[in-house]
Structure 1
Amino acid sequence: MIRSYRKTDLEEMVKIWYEASVIAHFFIPASFWASQKNAMKEEYLPLAENFVFEEEGQISGFISLVGKHVCALFVAPEMQGRGIGRALLEYAKTLKGRLSLKVYRENESAFHFYEKCGFVATGEEIDEYTGCAQILMEWK
């Protein structure tokens, strides 16, 4: 089931974000992600429109939107490959009708996932926090 997040979900969302980030972004030191935990919990997630994927009372993934921009899409590592990310993305598509996002160029599996979900690359930029290249993608 996909539902709007509750403040009580924040700890689990940050845990999923951190664990998935360290694995997916192996090219960025884990210490960077650890240094961002408080900001995710206290600033970034509360400012976004968040939806969680919940099964039997357990959150296994979430998507964060600011307007029509996907700021975050993360699935717990042990739950990946089960269609949770795609379900969250499809949910966001029905809500917004058009979406944009950024994905690190070195995160090839995520880039291909977004391509399979209908996103196309529209440009590239350097992330000011990590110095890594990000591909800009859109779905219409």
Structure 2
Amino acid sequence: MKAVPMILAAFALAACATAEGPQGTPSLDIAPGQPAPPQAQFYIDCIDQASEARTYDREEHVIRFHCGGAPAQRFFDGLRGWSADEASEIGSGGVLWRFTSPMRQNPSFLDFCRRTGEGHAARYDCTVVLNVGEFLAQ
């Protein structure tokens, strides 16, 4: 009997490894949302500022929202523990970068915040990436 759960788990892993997309009949059911955690406010504040100031651009199929000042500093500070735990903090040339996920090759397609300088002279900026897909290429 103990072998049955192990066999089912092996089938599930094999299905995940070989599946190329959703299987079965498509559904228009929308999953219920969950309350956004407090760190979601960092994204909202940055996107709000970028939208109002029109400091957004495009890279391939993503829109990049760029914010600075107080919203960027709050986001940067909010990433402190996360970036340390995820090894997604990089210092280079007097700039401290914090990413929401580890950088593999370059900052393209990643959310990040930067601090340039130290103390009262420090400047903060962040980029939040929204993947909008092929529609943006039209």
TM range (shorter): under 0.3
Q: Which has the higher contact order (CA 8 A, sep 6+)?
A: 2
Higher strand proportion (structure 1 or 2): 1
> Which of these two proteins has the greater Rg computed from alpha carbons?
2
